[in-house]
Chains A and B, each alone.
Chain A
Amino acid sequence: MLDTSGAEWPVIKTAGFDGFLISFGAELSEPANRAALAFRDAIARANWDSVQETSTSLVSTYLRFDPLAQDHAKLQAALERLLVEHDWFAAPLPDGRKLWRVPTVFGTEMAPQLDEAAQAAGLSVAQAIHSISNTRVRVQTIGFAPGMPYLGALPEAWNIPRQTALTDKTPAGGLCVAIRQLVLFPVATPTGWRHIGQTAFSLFRPETEAPFVLRAGDEVFFEPTTAEALAEMQSDLNGGATYEAIP
């Protein structure tokens, strides 16, 4: 493994056979998140022949390339040169962001782990719902499943670990929590995160012109609603969610 680690960020590592990961921090922070997004744009603009794909995760930029066309050392050197060109941590958030309001049923049999998650966070169930629904969270990255946002940051009380065992299946639209973040599932999936809310928001629409709904940088309020009200929103792809532009 090539590794330029040390106390200094960013750090370049190889990821598997044909990937590089450029990480801007050990922990999630807004500057590191912005740096990852901006550095991905810079790699895309550099338009290097061997690079086949780029993406971001929470605090990292990933690129996949063809190691049979260019060797790892040369690409790493090019990445190092690009890294010193700017203060990536000071980069602005992307343009064209939206603020979404997403109707959510907290707890009940639709989201059976709210009690457990509240307890782990040291909150009553009512406090937990109040805390989550009053936090304006930002899409830090899209990943895991198609169109799936990681959202944060929640208040410090929500710095709770994932479960040690996987839940076999959390339904599409499920809102889950761990380590001061929320995830919202576009499809039914196994997960180690605790299922605390249920929405009818369709995040991945492969048959439409715009298959992916949320973008990194968008912001979201999860607003409490009832199971009855949510049932009526099921026929709407947005599940009752509305948005406004963030100026």
Chain B
Amino acid sequence: MSNQLKVLRAGPSMTVQDQGRAGYLAFGLSRSGAVDLLALHEGAALLGQSPTLAAIEMGGMGGTFTVTQDTRIALTGAPMKASIDGSTVLWNASYLLPQGAKLVIGAAHAGTYGYLHVGGGIAAAPVLGARSTHLAAGIGATLKEGDALDIAADPLELVGQAIDPDPRFDGGLLRILPSLQTASFAPSEIARFENTAFQRDTRGNRMGVRIVPDGAGFETQAGLSVLSEVIVSGDVQVTGDGTPFVLLAECQTTGGYPRIGSVLPMDLPRAAQARAGATLRFQFITLPEAVALERKEAARRKALRGTLRALIRDPHDIADLLSYQLISGMTAGDDLERAEP
């Protein structure tokens, strides 16, 4: 019988996500996928597997899970309070979740989206070539109590690893590229945009996050009668009242509100992870600068497996040392070496 992840209690916005289904823009279907793609890479590094495998994305709050066979897990993205059978476990780390043990994941204490990865990946049936839930399109649904998700076969070879995440959970600077209607904003408005601190609004989801300027909204001559035009994830759309939205993985594929710019893909997790009230700022960069930054980031992501370290167990964090002995017993002590490609 195949291994399953069972949902005993579900937070309000847990979904299955992979890197999304590209290729359907012409049919009006946006890619979807994890809003924090870096978290998928970090989880893949921790488990020594492909970043294309599906994981559970948890918005704001996790849930309670159990597995029908021993399963490797990794926790990445927004750090959340977590325990296995009552023993605290650290975020940005991998563990063995024994068959029948209860994994309890609580609220995020920084950022918004946490990720639960399983060794082998979540094996939900693909729809149009991907496993990503797309709530706005009605593909898949939020997870609920009683759901059971198949887990693909896994050799159980690497656990007890930790990774240092790229910090992105408290707002900050988003680098931005000119986009379709940037030129329709007066240079003074562009300068003011770069000098404005924005607060991430309480309104936000996988489609996009509203960001509220600490001054007036932003105006363009283009107004409300721009022809609807293609939208891509990262575009910063200025709605009729002058308030920008940063569009995320599940955004619409076309829109008529002017786009003042488009966030550099590697900075998008920072936008998605900012929680309500966090401060975000923007800085325009050029395309050659963007290409150089993305090239460096692609190389860094690829090398993440080489940055793993054996999990250091702090006795103060551990209620039940015995369960840790059990877990460390799964590793041969040479995990770092074996994690290298």
Chain A interface (Cβ < 8 Å from any Cβ of B): 1-3, 13-19, 21, 26-28, 40, 52-60, 62, 64, 67-68, 71-72, 141-148, 150, 161-166, 178-179, 186-187, 189, 192, 204, 206-207, 211-212
Given contacts A143-B228, A162-B225, 18 further A-B contacts (CB under 8 A): A14-B287, A16-B235, A17-B177, A17-B264, A17-B290, A21-B180, A21-B229, A53-B25, A54-B26, A59-B227, A68-B298, A141-B228, A144-B254, A145-B28, A147-B28, A147-B29, A161-B224, A179-B227
Chain B interface (Cβ < 8 Å from any Cβ of A): 22-29, 127-128, 136-139, 177-180, 182-183, 223-225, 227-230, 232, 234-235, 239-241, 252-257, 262, 264-265, 287, 290-291, 294-295, 298
Contact A142 B28 (CB under 8 A): yes
Contact A17 B24 (CB under 8 A): no
Determine the distance from Cα of A192 to Cα of B257 in the docked complex, in whole angstroms.
Answer: 9
The minimal Cβ–Cβ distance linking A130 to chain B, given in whole angstroms, is 25
In order of increasing CB-CB distance, the 7 nearest A-B pairs are A143-B254, A16-B262, A164-B240, A55-B26, A1-B178, A146-B29, A55-B25
Determine the distance from Cα of A52 to Cα of B22 in the docked complex, in whole angstroms.
Answer: 9
Determine the distance from Cα of A164 to Cα of B219 in the docked complex, in whole angstroms.
Answer: 13
Determine the distance from Cα of A200 to Cα of B187 in the docked complex, in whole angstroms.
Answer: 46
Contact B291 A71 (CB under 8 A): yes
The minimal Cβ–Cβ distance linking A235 to chain B, given in whole angstroms, is 18
Contact B227 A27 (CB under 8 A): yes
Contact B26 A56 (CB under 8 A): yes
24 A-B pairs with C-beta separation under 8 A:
A1-B182, A13-B180, A16-B262, A17-B177, A21-B230, A27-B227, A52-B22, A53-B23, A55-B26, A57-B227, A58-B228, A68-B294, A72-B291, A142-B26, A144-B253, A146-B27, A150-B228, A162-B240, A164-B224, A189-B252, A192-B224, A204-B28, A206-B127, A206-B128
Contact B228 A144 (CB under 8 A): yes
Contact A28 B227 (CB under 8 A): yes
The minimal Cβ–Cβ distance linking A143 to chain B, given in whole angstroms, is 3
Determine the distance from Cα of A64 to Cα of B230 in the docked complex, in whole angstroms.
Answer: 11
Residues on A with beta carbons closer than 8 Å to the beta carbon of B137 = 145-146, 186-187, 204, 206
The minimal Cβ–Cβ distance linking A221 to chain B, given in whole angstroms, is 22
Q: A187 touches which one: B23, B136, B183, B287 (CB < 8 A)?
A: B136
Residues on A with beta carbons closer than 8 Å to the beta carbon of B234 = 16-17
- CB nearest neighbor in A for B229: A57
Q: B229 touches which one: A60, A162, A186, A187 (CB < 8 A)?
A: A60
The minimal Cβ–Cβ distance linking A13 to chain B, given in whole angstroms, is 6
The minimal Cβ–Cβ distance linking A42 to chain B, given in whole angstroms, is 14
Contact A62 B28 (CB under 8 A): no
Known interface pairs A17-B177, A143-B254, A179-B225; A2-B28 also in contact (CB < 8 Å): no
Contact B25 A192 (CB under 8 A): no
Determine the distance from Cα of A28 to Cα of B290 in the docked complex, in whole angstroms.
Answer: 32
The minimal Cβ–Cβ distance linking B244 to chain A, given in whole angstroms, is 14
The minimal Cβ–Cβ distance linking A189 to chain B, given in whole angstroms, is 7
Residues on A with beta carbons closer than 8 Å to the beta carbon of B287 = 1-2, 14, 17, 67, 72
Q: A146 touches which one: B28, B265, B298 (CB < 8 A)?
A: B28
Determine the distance from Cα of A175 to Cα of B294 in the docked complex, in whole angstroms.
Answer: 41
Residues on A with beta carbons closer than 8 Å to the beta carbon of B180 = 13, 15, 21
Q: A206 touches which one: B138, B228, B290 (CB < 8 A)?
A: B138
Q: B241 touches which one: A72, A161, A165 (CB < 8 A)?
A: A165
Known interface pairs A55-B230, A164-B241, A187-B136; A68-B295 also in contact (CB < 8 Å): yes
Determine the distance from Cα of A18 to Cα of B254 in the docked complex, in whole angstroms.
Answer: 16
The minimal Cβ–Cβ distance linking B302 to chain A, given in whole angstroms, is 12
Q: A211 touches which one: B26, B128, B291 (CB < 8 A)?
A: B128
The minimal Cβ–Cβ distance linking B129 to chain A, given in whole angstroms, is 11
The minimal Cβ–Cβ distance linking B228 to chain A, given in whole angstroms, is 6
Contact B253 A55 (CB under 8 A): yes
Determine the distance from Cα of A187 to Cα of B227 in the docked complex, in whole angstroms.
Answer: 22
- CB nearest neighbor in B for A54: B26
